[in-house]
Chains A and B, each alone.
Chain A
Amino acid sequence: MTESKSCYTIDKLEGYAVLQLGLKLNISGRKEFEKEIEGLANLYLIVNCHLLTSIPNDWIRLIVRLQQLVKKSNKFLKMINVTPGLIAFFKGEGLDTTFKYATDIKDALVDTGLALPAQAGTAQTAPVKKGLDTDFINPFLAAAANVIQVSSNITSLAGDIFIKQNTDVLPGDVSGVIGIVSEAFVGSVIISFPEKTFLKIMSNMLGEDVKEINQEIVDGAAELTNMIFGQAKVVLNNKGYGIKSAIPSVISGNNHSFSTLTKGPIVVVPFNTEYGGFFIEICLSN
């Protein structure tokens, strides 16, 4: 059952309830909400804080009271979709340890054994996605261009994406490699640079003229891969991919090439800069 109020909604579901807080939490809404918190005391409570960067003190007091009530029933209250701004607000108010957080509803309910109903309205979580499609690849394109631009002030443009064939040789002089692991698939991302491109990027990053690939700078390829993977991972996990963190590694040597451990197709994204190209290989298999 969904009850709509002026500044909040409550979705009462099987065994739990989702309290959606609106952006304008006012006094009249708080008075309405105060009347119905007793009816929520026997449920697991999930407070959806989507887009909020602060919560008025009178609302916080009420949520704390509600948290105490559900605790008496051996249930819990967890906040989801908590923005960095709201976390900073809680910390500023000395409330950073007051509430428990979860990423989403599924994560919040993981300890309860409750199954999510199929028709849960706003309570539905994104299904775990899988597959090497544009939805998966595009965040890597955006992340690569952004990371190279911010870290080295070099503009890179993505070329036409293609599927790597057995006969294709895409040698690089230095490459960063990182594994992709999720519940649905495994794979890898490889970012390979020819010497000329890599030296220019590293020269700009370090603020000094780097003339050769050596042990002092070679791990820069792994770091670039880590940053590109990290930015893409945030976007993909917000879409429900569930990718886990991994440690990158680096491979160097003139004109080296790769054999991937997974058997899926390999998508190649070539990039071009005014100092030369580089390319990203993405491979997934279920």
Chain B
Amino acid sequence: MSSRTSRRSLLTALGAAAVGISFGAAGCSKPAGDGVSASGEEPKLNFYNWDTYIGDTTLSDFKAASGIDVNMSLFASNDELFAKLKAGNPGFDVIVPSNDYVPRMSEAGLLMPLDHAKIPNFKNVNAEFLDPPYDPGRKFSMPYTWLALGLGYRKSKMKGIVPDSWKYVFESDMFRKRITILGDSADLIRLAGKYLGYSINNIPDEGLVKIEAMLMKLVRSGNLLKFTGDEGDTLLANGDADLVIEYNGDVAQKATEDPDLDFLIPKEGSELTSDTLCIPTGAPRPDNAHKFINYILDGKAGAEISKTILFPTPNDAAKALMPDDYRNNHIIFPPADLLAKSEYAQFPGADRLQKYEEMATRIKAAGVGG
């Protein structure tokens, strides 16, 4: 009898201890910062960024230059970023949304206006990015990279042709079960619309009907291997897929290790994006945030970043410092005529996004026929 009482009391004590520890851990979440910078902010920064999207030494270089310790967390999609911030800023100082999310987030009051006086390196930015339609006067964002969607492919498996059109992913039987396309509803529908000849921000309703029919037929045909998020380049590199829809920088990174890989923008044109640096509302250290953004826009720091991530840079000073094999790389800087046919995406409005999402759910529920 005594052993049962003692075991029960031991379990009770353990249970009480567990609850107590978790309360205690919840209580002391932020230790006091050591030292305070001239502006009164502690020398720390919470940076919320995409994966593999910063230079190898950028954060340590910034710490050496300014004494600010950068803590980088990762997110995988703009929706994840938006969902996290929608419920209130959990303490991020600098975030990296894409261009179509900047107006959406600024309208929702989630972004803090930038003080250009604190960002003198703004002069390094390429003229095309100084006053874009999604952020007139660069009130809320600074350009970090620009990207192009297109087709990544393995040259040796292309059966002698160059896949220069979207039809090879959307409507062809040539590469059975070796194709992946984007799973993101808005991007997928916009690219399918580009293939059918529409402007990505203005697809009429009968265009949506045609797109849905074409994509349902694609899913039913069994030619598609998978809907990918950002793992298309991994599947291409490890031989599971031969033709993928991916961003140019992701394929450029894989192509440095595997020269059999290549990338192109199809002849119908494609979708362009620009990832930007913003400061969310409620950032605890806006002064440090401005310093960080200014540092990234510096030519040398920008060159260091571009050397690692191999995405095209909107920063002229950084581009000038890059080696020739970066500037002349046709994956990183696609030919101007195809870029001219490509467009930046706009935020289509909440209702249209939900309509796109329901279309994508129907397409993915179509079922494989053969």
**Do the two shown chains form a genuine complex with each other?**
no
